[in-house]
């Protein structure tokens, strides 16, 4: 009986999705785009993309500056440290994809945003430790900065894998029509983040320092966490 009920529920859901897709297929691209940007949950999801890429756009060039100024690293050694983020993204992406099929996607994106915020704290802590007077704490500065880079990579892995699936679920959930337009809005958000992140971050850095700028952009990621957790997707 339980199996029969589950099968009926699945068929009902598939039928509802099919009906929704048919009803939205005739909607114009302009109307579909407006529906996407007016939907609160879609905007929260795309804002998380903008916030994470804003932090990324700021932290990568600034990390290179810090590695040169604070640690006296050559350009080759600096590239190895910054590549830690890319390596973490490479390793984390398939794992994030597997988790996205088994876990609530909005919570995975929220976890990614929390990691991005945590990386800003580690970045600031690394610079504070570097200025410490004891040899032990100074020696901890570079490893902590490397951990911050790894957090960025794993955060982006969760954002890309779970975030794309979440957007697709929200299109179905609200009958918004076009997956392609939803992904286009997300691409616009990451481009906006890459534009605003360096501009805002470097402006703040000039007046208050690199640590404050990193914590400010990292904090913007943390603000979105409760709003992401509140989103109910198809895996809920």
As a whole number of angstroms, the distance between CA 159 and CA 93 comes to 9
Burial of 235 (0-12, 13-18, 19+ CB in 10 A): middle
Rg for the chain (alpha carbons), in Å? 21
Per residue in 125-160, pLDDT (tens digit) is 888 887 765 665 667 888 888 999 999 999 999 888
**Residue range 181-207, pLDDT digits in tens:** 778 888 888 899 999 999 999 999 999
The CA dihedral of 212, 216, 221, 225, to the nearest 10 degrees, is 100
| 202-214 per-position pLDDT tens digit | 999 999 998 999 9
Output the pTM of the full model. 0.78
Buried b (16+ CB within 10 A) or exposed e, 101-138: eeebbbbbbbbbbbbbbbbbbbbbbbbebbeeeeeeee
């Amino acid at each position: 009986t339980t199996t029969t009920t589950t099968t009926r529920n699945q068929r009902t859901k598939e039928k509802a999705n099919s009906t929704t897709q048919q009803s939205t297929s005739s909607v114009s691209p302009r109307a579909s785009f407006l529906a996407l940007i007016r939907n609160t949950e879609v905007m929260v999801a795309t804002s998380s993309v903008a916030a994470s890429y804003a932090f990324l756009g700021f932290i990568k060039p600034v990390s290179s500056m810090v590695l040169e100024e604070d640690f006296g690293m050559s350009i080759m050694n600096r590239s190895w440290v910054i590549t830690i983020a890319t390596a973490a993204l490479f390793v984390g992406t398939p794992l994030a994809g597997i988790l996205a099929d088994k876990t609530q996607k909005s919570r995975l994106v929220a976890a990614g945003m929390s990691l991005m915020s945590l990386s800003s704290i580690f970045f600031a802590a690394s610079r504070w430790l570097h200025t410490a007077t004891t040899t032990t704490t100074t020696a901890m500065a570079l490893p902590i900065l490397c951990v911050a880079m790894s957090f960025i990579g794993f955060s982006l892995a969760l954002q890309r894998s779970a975030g794309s699936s979440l957007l697709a679920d929200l299109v179905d959930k609200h009958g918004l029509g076009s997956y392609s337009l939803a992904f286009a809005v997300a691409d616009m958000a990451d481009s906006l983040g890459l534009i605003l992140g360096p501009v805002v971050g470097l402006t703040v850095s000039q007046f208050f320092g690199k640590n404050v700028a990193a914590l400010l952009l990292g904090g913007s990621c943390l603000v979105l966490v409760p709003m992401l957790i509140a989103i109910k997707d198809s895996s809920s």
